[in-house]
Structure formats: C-alpha cells, structure tokens
Amino acid sequence: MKSKSRKAHIVGVGESIYTKWGGIQDKTQFQLTAETIATALTDAGIAVAEADGLTSFSNDANDAPLMAVTLGLKQLRYSAMVWGGGGGGSAGSVAQACAAVESGQAEVVVAYRGLCQGQGRRFGRFGAGRIHGNFVHPYGLFAPAQMLALLVQRYFHETGGDPDSLVEIALNGRANANRNPRAVMRDRELTREQYFASRWIAEPLRLFDCCLETDGAAAVVVTTAERAADLDADSVEVAAAVHGSGPGWGSGPLGSHNMPDEDYATSNSKLLAQDLFNRADMTPSDINVAQFYDHFSGLVLMALEDYGFCGRGEAPDFVKSGAIRADGSLPINTSGGQLSEAYVHGMNLVIEGVRQLRGVSTTQIADAQTCLVTGGLGVSPTSALILTR
Amino acid sequence: MAYFPPSMPAPEPEPVDQEFWAHCAQGHLRFQTCSDCDTPRHPPTPMCPSCHSTKTKWVDPGKTAEVFSYTVIHHASHEAVPSNLPYVVAVVTFPALPGVRLITNITDLPPGDVRIGHSVTLWFDDIGGGMQVPRFRPVGAA
Ligand SMILES: [Zn+2]
C-alpha cells in the first residue's frame, strides 16, 4: 500500500488566455508557458522557486531545464516527458508527476503544455519527419483528422452505428463553451443545421467534428497529500493516473495502421481503462463527470465504450439520448473541450476536471465527487486519470 | 502522369524500409516476413515480434486486396493535393497474406462509391526519380 501521506494531489492550476491559432504574437510560446507555470504555482500557494519537478509530453518545445532556470527553481529533482505525438500523453504527464511525488523523487511537480501554433508547426497539417511518414505521406494522408477518420469509418462499419450521432458530441461541446468565458467559441452558437451544412474534412468527419487550432498554455501542480494539507489551496486527489497502450499499436493510426483486428476501431483504451479503474478501486458507475480528449468526435464514441460507460456499438444511441449533456447521466467536456474551448493537447481538460471537483466550472455538475480525464485517444501511448475528493 | 503532382512528398527510404521501396521501384509489392516463423509484418521492423528472429524474406501478397477502411479527403493539408480533391485514402488487406495492412489510394472511381469490403487491384504509379508507389483501383476498372 502506498503511504496515504504521499498520495498525489493536484493543488494548483494555471491557464493562459486561449485564442485562435496565431492569436498570441506579443510573447513567445516559451514565455507564455513560463508565466502559466508560475500562475499554477501561485494558485497552489507555493513559491515558484520551490517547484522541483517538471513534466510534459509530445516533444514539448518548452525545454524543462531551460524552464527550471527561467523560473529560478532552487533544485530540479525530476524532469520527464511522455513519448508519442499529439495529446496522447496529456494525462500521462500528470501520471509522471504523481509517480515522482509518490515515490519521493520530488515534492512539487508541474505538468505543463504550451502550444502557440502560429509560432511553430500546425499539428493539423503535413509534418516532415513523421515516424512511418513514408507509408502515409505519398498517399495524401497528412493530418490526424484524416488518419483517425479511417478508424471512425471502420467503427461505424463494424457496429452499424449511426454516423449522424457525431453531431451530439459537437453540440454538447459548443453548448458548454457558450457558458465558458475562457472558451475560444464562447460567443459562437452552433445549431444542428449548421453542423450538417458544414464541409467535410475527411469523411465521416465534418469541420465541427475536428478540434480547434488555438494558442495557449496550461499547467497543473502536483504534490503529496501531506504537503497539500499544509496549503490553503483547494486540493483534488488523483485517485489513479496511467499511460500506455494495447499490443501492436506502434504508430497506429498516425502511421502503420496495423493494430490487432479487434482493436483497430477503438480508442486504444480498453486495457488502460481496466488498469485505471482497478488502481482507483472504482468502476465506471462511480464517475460523476468526464473530460474525454475530443480531438475528433468519433473517438469520443469509441472511448465511451472502451471505458465501459456503454457496450460495444451502443455509444451512438447513448449520446443521442442526451446522456452526455450537462443534465445527463454522464456529462462530458463541460468546458467545451477541444472542439470548442481550446486545443492545448488536453491539459485544459485536466484543468476542467479540477474545476469540477472544486465546484467552480461554468457548467458545474452538482456535487461532483469524481471526474475521469483522458489523454489523446486512438494513439500510443494514450493516458487517463481519475480525480476525486 | 503520376496520380498526384510532382510536389507530392515521395518516399524517402530509410535503412529499415529500403528493401520495401526497392521492390516497389521494380513494380513489385512485397511484405517483410520472418524467415523463421513466417509471420508477415508491415511497416518493416528489425525484429520479428513473434519469435524475435532478425532473418527476413519478402513475400508477394498478390495483386488483389480488400478495402478494410477508407476516408474521402476533402480538405487539403498539403500544397500538392488541391487539384486531386476529393481523393480516397484506404487501408487495404490481402486475402492471400493475412496479417498486414497497407495504406494506399483507391483510384478510378467516383470517391463516393468506395465501400469497405470492395475488391481492388494493384497498380504502380511511376512518380519519377526511379520510384513507383502502389495504388489500387476497383477490380475491372481500366
Ligand atoms: Zn518470427
């Protein structure tokens, strides 16, 4: 048994403003990220120089050793990054922070992500140097939307599910974003008619099935239960945090497409979800609210099944029933998610999870005691965590 | 005329996949297969995931494949492709060589007509520079 006194808690969160991609030009991505880390530590009531660990994911360009000197950290005891591109490692970077504090390798670890797509590469376009690029680029398969559309198409083929159910994911995100002043799409309403009139990106994904491209930074501060008890901050326990993959994924949808047959049209989360719930000593019915990594609507359908909230092929009817809405049985993506709040490779979803348990979400779920947050779906590694209080 | 314009990214063979592309340049589709246990694998890797042998042979999957999944792409994510929109990218499997999937294009049909399960036939697209890329068209199409 882990010593309860070292059990990981999130004690602070920080977010920059979120803008459409290219919207932040008055400061560098690195400066924005440094400011956001400082904001998160201040939220926790911890002096910035006291942080002793830094984690991130997806080849984050905001180099941790340089961040440590920029922030004036007295000592760096832990720095790590989760392998893999995109947002697969978002919850995983928090999992690393938890592992660091629970094992005693560090005391205060910040998991962060800074992403100004107007200053660097746009993840939604061709990127040279991609692993297995030789097997996708010569065919015109360049962008994650196109790559993951292949899984979504196969999912509807295998399950007979209704592709029109994807609209529910988009409308839910937008309705929640319209209540959220931080959301890039706060003032833009979305109707069913507008969704179905929108252009195809890569069938069966339309424009509104695809995440935003935004600029922003987000960070969370992880420390032990013992330290959290000494702070004024409203802390949230990380009941469990995991990252990993089923067998055979490798570059998966982003390259090889040679996952096992039974796992092809999934979010690569079935084994991960079992580990997660076991470690948290919970079942899906214990989850009050969830933040699913909504890079593309169709992967959220698969994840609802892979995490056990409904059976195989049942997610389209589940979302059409209204279950994922704020007044449903499993409200999801209550900040608007990456479809409508901002795309910070999932770190903004972790922060929304903390807000729900602090009781300060703009789409607050009454008496929320548990929140599931996933990392990027349908990639390897993917990740997830459960917050509780 | 190649299927995509000349500015399309071409394969840039690396040590691990150069033999795959050398076969393609000759107009042959061949998949890396373990010499010891006959397990095929793709994309190429330096070791058999079943028996960990590093000995390989290159196996002909035949010219007929089946559409396992597909997407009709309407949005250009690279400057080379606007004149091809909409185009079909598919994942195909080979009845004669279970265990590998290939990403490719389905050509010579209206994009809206492609379906999972369709049988398609291999053709090689000469993209210049001594390289050919495997693409597929419906069985019976010109
Ligand atoms: Zn073998």
Cα B116 off chain centre by: 16
Residue-wise DSSP of A3-51: -GGG-EEEEEEEE---EETT---SS-HHHHHHHHHHHHHHHHT--GGG-
Is B78 in Cβ contact with A126 (below 8 Å)? yes
Q: What is the pLDDT of residues A92-127, one digit of tens each?
A: 999 999 999 999 999 999 999 999 988 877 788 888
- What contacts A34, CB < 8 A, 6 or more positions away? A62, A67, A70, A71
Cα separation, B62 vs B70, whole angstroms = 20
Does the pLDDT of residue A1 top 50, yes or no? no
Is B77 in Cβ contact with A146 (below 8 Å)? yes
Q: Which residues of A are catalytic?
A: 293, 343
- Report which residue type is found at A298: G
The number of CA neighbours under 13 Å toward the Cβ of A353 is 36
What share of chain A has pLDDT > 90, as a percent? 94
pLDDT value of residue A362:
98
Is B12 in Cβ contact with A138 (below 8 Å)? no
List residues of B whose CB lies inside 8 A of any A CB: 4, 8-14, 17, 21, 41-43, 49, 68-75, 77-78, 80-81, 84, 86-87, 89, 91, 100-105, 116, 127, 133, 135
The CATH number fitting domain A4-122+211-388, selected from 3.40.1350.10, 3.20.20.140, 3.30.479.10, 3.40.47.10: 3.40.47.10
Q: How confident is the model at residue A130 (pLDDT cuts 50, 70, 90)?
A: confident
Does the pLDDT of residue A2 top 70, yes or no? no
Q: Is A31 at the interface with chain B, CB within 8 A? A: no
- What contacts A107, CB < 8 A, 6 or more positions away? A50, A52, A53, A77, A101, A223, A224, A227
Average of per-residue pLDDT across A361-372 = 98
Average of per-residue pLDDT across A139-149 = 97
Nearest to A258 among B74, B89, B101 (CB): B101
pLDDT value of residue B142:
63
Does the pLDDT of residue A57 top 70, yes or no? yes
- Please state the domain extents for chain A: 4-122+211-388
Say how many Å lie between the CA of residue A159 and the centre of ligand 1. 33
pLDDT value of residue A86:
82
Average of per-residue pLDDT across A38-65 = 97
Q: What is the pLDDT of residues B62-117, one digit of tens each?
A: 999 999 999 999 999 999 999 999 999 999 999 999 999 999 999 999 999 999 99
Helix and strand numbers, DSSP H then E, in chain B: 1, 7
Is B8 in Cβ contact with A138 (below 8 Å)? yes
Element (H, E) at A169: helix A166-177
- Please state the domain extents for chain B: 15-138
Which of A114-123, A148-157, A310-319, B119-128 is least confident? A114-123
Q: What is the pLDDT of residues A278-293, one digit of tens each?
A: 999 999 999 999 999 9
Q: What is the pLDDT of residues B2-29, one digit of tens each?
A: 999 999 999 999 999 999 999 999 999 9
Q: How confident is the model at residue A85 (pLDDT cuts 50, 70, 90)?
A: confident
Tokens of A302: 């698969």
Q: What is the pLDDT of residues A216-268, one digit of tens each?
A: 999 999 999 999 999 999 999 999 999 999 999 999 999 999 999 999 999 99
